[in-house]
Amino acid sequence: MQRDAALICHVVYRLDYGGLENGLVNLVNNLPRDRFRHAIVCLAGFGALRSRVARSDVPIVSIDKREGKDFPSYVRMWRVLRSLRPDIVHTRNLGTVDLQWVARVAGVPHRVHGEHGWEAADPLGRSARTKLIRRACRPVIERYVAMSLDIERWLRDEIGVPAARVRQLYNGVDTERFRAGRALPLDWPWRKLDRQGVRVFGTVGRCDPLKNQLALVDAFAELLSQTGGDKSPLRLVIVGDGPVRSLLVQRVHERRLDGRVWLTGARADTPELLSALDVFVLPSLNEGISNTILEAMATGLPVVAARVGGNMELVEHERTGLLCDDSRAVTLASAMRRYTDDPTLARRHGDAGRVRVENHFSLDSMIRAYASFYDEVLAGPSAGLQGRHTEVQH
């Protein structure tokens, strides 16, 4: 007999533009409707990304948690869970992990926690305090999802999670939504310039110290000084918003890059913006599995990124992009210069990246992997505990 569709309650800090949140929306929209229902509980509200949830049967609620330890919010969370009565609670990252205890008290039968990446205050996952919090929640978490092999190793070695309780699952990207050849955004600032004569570098992500966009501005300034200065045909686009954006505006002005760097703020037209770029640069100090790298590769862009975290699992050095030994401006500028000097190399790496995404990181493969994982969780603690992970050929 086929079971009724299971209700999965996804818990996130805030439902707004970001890689984690975008992956969640893709799951909610694409998991089989006859097998899975969904609810999304946000600790601190939601933004425009809410409109991308295509299913009308998905409640999206906020418990309006205040900054710091807001103990009444735990009671509100308990009430929400008692009302929803989900089959699975799936929390994500440090900000929600302690709610696993609330789920346990509320009687949720299956509890899953996902680790997607790193915090700006602890880019390498070494904080004794945050590791202690995660270890304290470990007893009530049935299964873990690690976004990368690097995070899987960290959960095992630093948090003490048994290998059999961790499942490594990659994100996937919609290769129809992200592809080359889309029309330029209507407010594209260099529309009057000869598109063939301009080389545009760009990045997408929250303006946050961990994402290191200030180093990218400095790298771009260095590259301009090497390639003609005021007459250089190079441009830079930084898509996103966040606490560092005001500093980015200031740095652009200090480096006399006004008119050459476009700080777009938060946007809903990322596919069009990526399609307008020639090279994608991710200057982050550390990464889990970057959705934006996958989206850039799907768009046919070569990728410049640091050799950190999950980047090495996505970018094949000298085949789909260039991996730098660090995220310093001078190192980034050197890699960017190679693509400036050799557009043929850029096109070859971009084409190879598109093929790699189609073969290994498609949205369909992600949906199949998560559906299988949730089925195993629903089958009980002993089902599927072989410590399997997604295999990717390099």
Residue 22, classified by CB atoms within 10 Å of its CB into exposed (0-12), middle (13-18) or buried (19+), is: buried
Q: Report yes or no: 238 and 316 within 8 Å, Cβ to Cβ.
A: no
Q: What is the pLDDT of residues 47-60, one digit of tens each?
A: 888 999 999 999 99
How far is C-alpha 127 from the chain's CA centre? 21
Which residues on neighbouring strands pair with residue 119, listed in sequence order? 122
Domain with CATH 3.40.50.2000 in the chain: 6-172+362-379, 195-360
Q: What is the pLDDT of residues 61-82, one digit of tens each?
A: 999 999 888 899 999 999 999 9
Instruction: Please tell me the CATH code under which domain 6-172+362-379 is placed.
Output: 3.40.50.2000
The C-alpha atoms of residue 110 and residue 8 are separated, in whole angstroms, by: 9
Could you tell me which of 73, 125, 67 has the C-alpha nearest to residue 94? Answer: 125
pLDDT value for 394: 46
pLDDT value for 384: 52
Residue 368, classified by CB atoms within 10 Å of its CB into exposed (0-12), middle (13-18) or buried (19+), is: middle
Helix axes 213-226, 329-341, angle to 10 degrees: 50
Give every strand in the sheet of 60-62, ordered side by side: 60-62, 36-42, 6-12, 88-92, 110-115, 143-146, 166-168
For the chain, the first-to-last Cα distance in angstroms comes to 41
What is the token pair recorded at 103? 């789920």
Q: Report yes or no: 50 and 60 within 8 Å, Cβ to Cβ.
A: yes
The C-alpha atoms of residue 281 and residue 293 are separated, in whole angstroms, by: 9
What is the token pair recorded at 78? 């308990």
Q: What is the pLDDT of residues 5-14, one digit of tens each?
A: 999 999 999 9
Pair type for strands 6-12 and 36-42: parallel
| Helical H segments across 108-244, by residue range | 128-137, 149-154, 213-226
pLDDT value for 2: 56
* Ranges assigned E (strand) in the chain: 6-12, 36-42, 60-62, 88-92, 110-115, 143-146, 166-168, 199-204, 234-239, 261-265, 279-282, 303-306, 321-324
Q: Which residues contact 344 (CB under 8 A, 6 or more apart)?
A: none
**Residues of the chain falling short of pLDDT 70:** 1-3, 382-394
pLDDT value for 383: 55
pLDDT value for 1: 42
The C-alpha atoms of residue 48 and residue 304 are separated, in whole angstroms, by: 29
Q: What topology is assigned to 195-360 in CATH?
A: Rossmann fold (3.40.50)
Q: Which residues contact 246 (CB under 8 A, 6 or more apart)?
A: none
Whether this prediction's pTM lies above 0.95 is answered by no
CA angle, residues 251, 252, 257, in degrees to nearest 5: 145
Q: Report yes or no: 303 and 284 within 8 Å, Cβ to Cβ.
A: no
What is the token pair recorded at 364? 């369909």
